[in-house]
Amino acid sequence: MSDTSTSVTSTIPETVRILGCNVQHGRRRDEAIAFMKSLTPAPEIILWQEAQPGDPGKGIPSDAEVVAEALGMDAYENVLTPHVRRPKHNVIFVKRGGVFVHEGTYQHPGAPHQAPANIAVRLRLPDGSLSYRRLLLLAGHACYYSAPIRSVEADFVLSVFKHGELGYAEYDFNSYRKDRHPRDLQSVRDRTFATNRSRLTDAGEFVPDDVFDRKLVNAGLVDVGLWAAQELGQKGADGPTAGWGPDKRDQRAEPVDGEDSDQDPASAIDRGYAVAELIPALLTAGPIDNAATRAFSDHLPVDSLWRYSGLVEVMDRRVDVIVH
C-alpha cells in the first residue's frame, strides 16, 4: 500500500537521503538491511538492483517484501522480463509516512534486457500539501554483455525524463564515464568481460564503452557523484564502486602509471544521474566505502543527500511539461 495522505509530517527534515544499492544476487540481503538501519537520516528512497523474486509456492518471500517490512518502506518492483537468463528485480522503496508520496508505477515489459523499476512521487510540502511537480525515479541494471543494448537502455532513460520533467536514475551501468575509463581493455585477462564492456567503433576497434554516460550527460542529466567531486570538493565522491576481490582479478585492466586498478575510478559503474534542475539542492553524493558496505555486496551503495528546502523550491515550481 502506498501512502497517499497529505497530512503534515511530524518533523520536517533538513536533509533527504536517496540511496542506490546493488546487493549481489541478494546473497547478503540481511547485512544490507542492518547497514541501512544504521544510517542517519534514514533513506527516504532506496533504488535497489539484483533483488531476488522469491518463490511464493515454497513460502519464500521476495527480497522486496523482506526489505520493505524491515525498513518500514513500500516496495515497487519492475516486471520481470522473461528473456533474461537469470531474472532479478529492480525495486524502488519509498519510506512510509516520509517526505515522498507515491503517485504511480510504470512497467516496461518490452525492455531489451532487465526492465527498470519506474515510479513517480510527489514531495510532501511543509503545510502537508503535495508538490506541483512529480519526481520520476528509475532503478535499473544495464545489460552486462552488449554495448548496443546499453545504448538503447540510455535512450529509454531519456524517453522517461522528458523536457520539463524532474528525474533521478540509479543504475548499475556496466559501463564507464566519459574520459574516466582505462585507456583500453587489452590487458584484461577475461576476454569475454573485456568485449562485453567495449563498443565496436566504425574503424573496427574495440574501445571501453562510455555511451550510456555520454548520452545522459548530452541530454542535460548530471552525474551526482562526479558533480560532488568536481563542484563540491568531496574527495572520493567519484570513486570506484566495484571491481575488488579475487573473483574480479581477471576482469581488471593492468595498473597504469603505478596506480592500483582496484582503486581506479573507472570502476565506478554504479552511478546516479539527476535532471540538472535538481542539482542546486544536492548536498553530498558518492559511494559509501567501509567494512560494512564491502561485506554485503561486490558493489558499494551510492549515497546522495539533498536539502529538503531546495527540493521544495524545485518541485513546487510551476512548470509545464511537454507531452510527446
| DSSP per-residue codes, 141-162 | E--SS-HHHHHHHHHHHHHHS-
Tell me the mean pLDDT per 10 residues along the chain, length 324: 47 93 86 96 96 86 94 91 68 97 92 91 96 97 95 95 95 92 81 92 92 97 97 94 77 62 66 98 96 91 98 94 71
The per-residue b/e assignment along 168-190, b for 16 or more CB within 10 angstroms, e otherwise, is bbbbbbbbbbbebbbeebeebee
Alpha carbons within 13 A on the beta-carbon side of 131: 25
- CA 208 to CA 142: how far, in whole Å? 15
* CB-side neighbour CA atoms (13 Å) of 112: 16
Count of CB atoms situated within 10 Å of the CB of 89: 25
Cell of 85: 537468463
Which amino acid, one-letter code, is at 15?
A: T
Instruction: Give the Å distances, CA to CA, from 225 to 24, 110, 252, 301.
Output: 21, 30, 22, 12
CATH T-level topology, domain 15-315: Deoxyribonuclease I; Chain A (3.60.10)
Record the pTM: 0.92
pLDDT score for 189: 85
Q: How far apart are CA 288 and CA 32, in angstroms?
A: 12
Q: What residues form DSSP beta bridges with 242?
A: 299
How far, in Å, CA of 324 to CA of 321, rounded?
Answer: 9
The answer to whether the peptide bond before residue 41 is cis (omega within 30 degrees of 0) is: yes
CA–CA separation, 149 and 86 (whole Å): 17
Q: Where are the domains of the chain?
A: 15-315
Torsion of CA 311, 314, 320, 323, to 10 degrees: -50
pLDDT confidence of residue 262: 43
In terms of residues, how long is the chain? 324
Q: Quick one: how far is CA 95 from the chain centroid?
A: 17
